[in-house]
Structure 1
C-alpha cells in the first residue's frame, strides 16, 4: 500500500514538473487562445449558411463564399509564412491575424445584406490564413522541448474543445432567443478572451525561439527532397479527405440521421479529433515518422463507411474521420518542424498549408461533382488517392533512415 502512495507521489511530481516547464506553459497558453478562437469562428460557421440565406443569398452564393474563403485563407499562408521568415515578426503577424480573424465574427451581427456578411466571412478566413504559419513556428520552438507530436497534440486538443463549445453556445442562444444576430454578439466574449490571452502570452514569452532546444542543422537555402515528397503525400490525403459539409449533405439527403442529430455528429467528431491528436502526437514522438502510414490507412477507410454504410457503419465512419483529422493536425505540423530548417520554418509551414488547402478544396469540389454522378465513384476516388500517398510516405521514411545513418 505504501508503495502505491510512493508511485502516485512520483507520478504527481513528474506531471507537476512537466506543467512548470516554460515550453509547456507557452503551448497551453496558445492552446487556450485557440480554444477561445475556435469557440468564436466555429460557433459562427455553424450558422453562417442559414444566416446568409435569411439575408437573401442563394445556395450557389453560400457555397461559393464558404469555398472561396477557405481557398483564399490557405493561399495567403504561403505569403504570410515567407513574410514571417523575412521579418522575424512572428508575434506581430500572429496578433494581426487573430484580430482580423476574430473581430470579423461579431461584426456579422451588423451586416445589413448578404454581400456584407459574405465579405466578413471571407475576411475572417483571411485573418486565419495570415496568422497560422507564424503561430505554428512559435509553437514548434516550444514543442522541441516536450516532443513535437506531444506539443502539437496538446494544442490541437485544446483547440477542439473550443470547436465543440462554440456551436453549442450558439445553439443555446438560438434556442432561447432565435436570433442569429444575438448569436454573433455573444461570440464577442470568447473573441475578446482569445485576444486577451494572446496578448498575455506575448508579454510572458516575447521570444519563443529561446524555447527551441533541438536546433536541426539543415540547409537553410532550400527544402530537401523529403520535405517536397511529404508535401505531395499530404496533399493527396487532403484531396481525398471529404469536408464535413459534404458528409452532412449526404446524411440529410439519404435521411440516415435526423437534421438535429447531424450537428451532434460534428461535435462528436471534434471530440474524437482532440483525443486522437493527443494519442497520435505521443505515438509520433515515441515511434517516429512511420506512424504517418497508419494515419494514411485510417484516413482512407472513412469514406466507404460514411457514404456506403447504414446507421452504425456511418457512425463508425465519422469516428474514423475524427481520428484522422486529429492525427493529421498533430503529426503533420510536427513533421514540418522536423524536416525544415529553423530559419525557413515559416515558409515551410506556409508552403505546406497552401498546397494542403488547395488540394483539399480541389478534392472537395471534385468529390461534390462525383457525388452527383455516383457515390461509388466518390468513394473510389477518396480511397485510391489517399492510398497512393502511402508508398510516398514509405520512400520518405527510407530517405530519413539513410540520412540518420550518415
Structure 2
C-alpha cells in the first residue's frame, strides 16, 4: 500500500467520521438537557450515559475478536455505522426518558460494532505514514464534525426550534456519512488486508506492557466526567442560555481537534512521554467545569477538550505501537471494553456524587486522573 493510497484512505475515513460526528455529537450536546425535560435526574442521566458508554465500549471486545476471526472488517464497519447513525434521528420520537435511553444504548451499540474493525483498518494505513500522525488527522476531521454538529443545534435552538426538531434534521449528515463510507470501501485496496490474513493467529497474549497501559487508561476513564453531566450542571444552575450549551460543547470539540493533531505529531516524535502532557492538563477540568460561574465552566471546557483529544487519538495510536498487527483487533476490543467499564462506573458514581455534593464529584474526578498521571509517568519510563 503506497503512502498516497494510505493518506487517501485516512482522509476518507476521517470524512466519514466528520459527518457521523455531526450526527451523534450534535445529539450528544443536548441529550443532557433533553433528558431533564423528560424527567430524568442527574443520577439517572449519569447511569444512562454511563451504561451507553459501557455497551459502546464493552461490546467492542466481541466485535474486535469477531472481526479478527472472520476478517470481515468492512462488514462490521458498515453495519456498525448504520445502527450508530440511524438511532439519532429516532430520538425525535422519544416520548419519555426510558425510550430515549433505549435509543442512546442503540446508538452506542452501533459504535461498538464498528470501532475495532475501523481502527484496525486505519492502523494498517497508519503504518505507512506514521501512527500518531494518522490517528491525529482522523481525530481532527472527526472533531470538525463534532464542532459543526453542536453548532447546528445551537443555531436551531437560538431560532426557537425544539430538541426534537434538532434530532430529526440530524438524519441528513447521517446519510452523507454512510455514502462516504461506501465510497471508502470501493477505493480502498484489499491487498493489505489479504497480507494480514496470512499472519493472523489465535494467540491472545498481549503482554505486560499492554495491561499496565490499560490500567492507566482505566483510571482516566473513571475520573473523566462526560459532557452530558456538565451540560446538566449548566442547565441545573442556569449558568447560561439553553442555546449556548451546545455551543460550549462545540468549543470543546474544536479544542479536541487541535489537541489530537498536536499530540499526534508529538507522539510520533517523542513516543509515549507525549501522553503525559494532555493527561496532566485535563486533570483539573472538574474544578472549573462544575463551578457556578460560566467563564470558569468555559475554561474547564477547554481543559476537557484537551483530554478528549488525547483519548481519541494518541491513546488509540499507542495500542498499535504496543501490539503486533495480528492481534490488533482483539487488542482494540479489549482496550475499549475496559475503558468502557470504567467510564460507566465513573459516570454513574459521578452522577450520584453530583446529586449529593458537587465537591465530592470534583475531588474524585481530580484524584483519579492524577493517579493516572503518576502511573503513566512510570509507564513511559519502561515503554517510551
| Residue number in structure 1 paired with 2:233 | 250
1:5-404 correspondence to structure 2 within 5 Å: 21-48=4-31, 58-59=40-41, 64-109=47-92, 115-174=98-157, 178-207=161-190, 209=192, 220-308=203-291, 310-400=293-383
Q: Which has the higher contact order (CA 8 A, sep 6+)?
A: 2
Structure 2: distance between partners of 1:339 and 1:132 = 18
Structure 1: distance between partners of 2:234 and 2:168 = 31
Q: Could you tell me how far 1:151 is from its partner in structure 2?
A: 0.7
Q: Indicate the larger mover: 70-79 or 243-252.
A: 243-252
Assess, with a 3 A threshold, how the Cα gap between structure 1 residues 44 and 23 changes in structure 2: closer, same or farther.
same
Assess, with a 3 A threshold, how the Cα gap between structure 1 residues 252 and 186 changes in structure 2: closer, same or farther.
closer
Assess, with a 3 A threshold, how the Cα gap between structure 1 residues 378 and 69 changes in structure 2: closer, same or farther.
closer
Structure 1: distance between partners of 2:200 and 2:296 = 47
Assess, with a 3 A threshold, how the Cα gap between structure 1 residues 62 and 399 changes in structure 2: closer, same or farther.
closer
Q: Deviations 1:203-233 (Å, cap 9, x if unpaired)? A: 11142735999xx999944111010000010
Q: Could you tell me how far 1:297 is from its partner in structure 2?
A: 1.1
Assess, with a 3 A threshold, how the Cα gap between structure 1 residues 226 and 203 changes in structure 2: closer, same or farther.
same
Q: Could you tell me how far 1:266 is from its partner in structure 2?
A: 1.2
Assess, with a 3 A threshold, how the Cα gap between structure 1 residues 80 and 249 changes in structure 2: closer, same or farther.
same
Q: Indicate the larger mover: 375-384 or 254-263.
A: 254-263
Contact 2:46 2:351 in 1 (8 A): no
Per the normalisation by structure 2, the TM-score is 0.88
Q: Secondary structure at the match of 1:27?
A: helix
Q: Deviations 1:25-66 (Å, cap 9, x if unpaired)? A: 111100000011111122233444565666x66447655543
Gap runs ≥5 in structure 2: none
Assess, with a 3 A threshold, how the Cα gap between structure 1 residues 112 and 27 changes in structure 2: closer, same or farther.
same
- RMSD over aligned Cα atoms: 2.9
Q: Deviations 1:119-144 (Å, cap 9, x if unpaired)? A: 33321111011111111111111111
Q: Deviations 1:330-352 (Å, cap 9, x if unpaired)? A: 11010011111211111111111
Assess, with a 3 A threshold, how the Cα gap between structure 1 residues 251 and 279 changes in structure 2: closer, same or farther.
same
Assess, with a 3 A threshold, how the Cα gap between structure 1 residues 51 and 312 changes in structure 2: closer, same or farther.
closer
- Structure with greater Cα Rg: 1
Structure 2: distance between partners of 1:390 and 1:204 = 41
Q: Could you tell me how far 1:169 is from its partner in structure 2?
A: 2.5
Q: Could you tell me how far 1:164 is from its partner in structure 2?
A: 1.7
Q: Secondary structure at the match of 2:290?
A: helix
Gap runs ≥5 in structure 1: 1-17, 402-406
Q: Secondary structure at the match of 2:272?
A: coil
Structure 2: distance between partners of 1:332 and 1:314 = 25
Q: Could you tell me how far 1:245 is from its partner in structure 2?
A: 2.2
Structure 2: distance between partners of 1:393 and 1:292 = 8
